[in-house]
Amino acid sequence: MLYAGFMSAALPPFPTPEEPLDAPQLLQVAPSPEEPCLRADAARNRARLLEAAARLIAEHGVAGVTMEAVAAAAQVGKGTVFRRFGDRTGLLMALLDHSDRQLQADFLGGPPPLGPGAPPLDRLRAFGVAVLYRSAEQLDLQLAAQPEPTRRFSHPAIGARRTHIAMLLRQIVPDADCDLLSQTLLASLDPALIHHQHRQRGMPMARLEAGWTDLVARVTRTEPPPC
């Protein structure tokens, strides 16, 4: 099952995040910038298309997601899929954006230790673990939808994660270059790297989780949690 059942239902209202003013804002992933307010029927069509694409991934993997297959599964014309998402990459990115919105809801307003209410060090550890396991569940989708290298780090979802990590680091190691360190930490959670470590080299997820915890301890000059 994909992270948090991300295609299951509409998301609930998000609580006010207990973050400073520079905290990341939730991605506005439903309409595109050119569509500030989708009509009700257009919004329903979009939801049906995303649900159909998610079913195809669950049944056939990412390779089974074509614009034609999604149109047939959602019982709409192929032109509707192209008008809504542009191309296959746009469709896959929309699936990831919906999932990223759920992840952001969790770390901005969900229960601790991932959400507010826990010490920043605990939240940082929990954040990396959440991203690791979410990426492991969605590796094929994430790799297929990954933007070209020159655009990868400017994607809104990556920017939100980087800002969140930097915010936590400023509370833990205020004398450090937290913006640069946040990018270093985020690089260790790159889907391509997780694919190489977990699938190609056969590293168990428990080892990757322990590696994240160790990296956080070294970067923040803190002791790792007791085993």
User: Per-residue pLDDT tens for 137-195?
Assistant: 888 888 887 766 777 777 788 899 999 999 999 999 999 999 999 999 999 999 999 99
Cα–Cα dist 161/188, whole Å: 13
> What amino acid occupies position 205?
M
Contact 108, 153 (CB under 8 A): no
* Burial grade of 26 (CB within 10 A; 0-12, 13-18, 19 or more): middle
Contact 187, 217 (CB under 8 A): no
> What amino acid occupies position 94?
A
User: Per-residue pLDDT tens for 76-111?
Assistant: 888 989 988 888 888 888 888 877 888 899 999 999
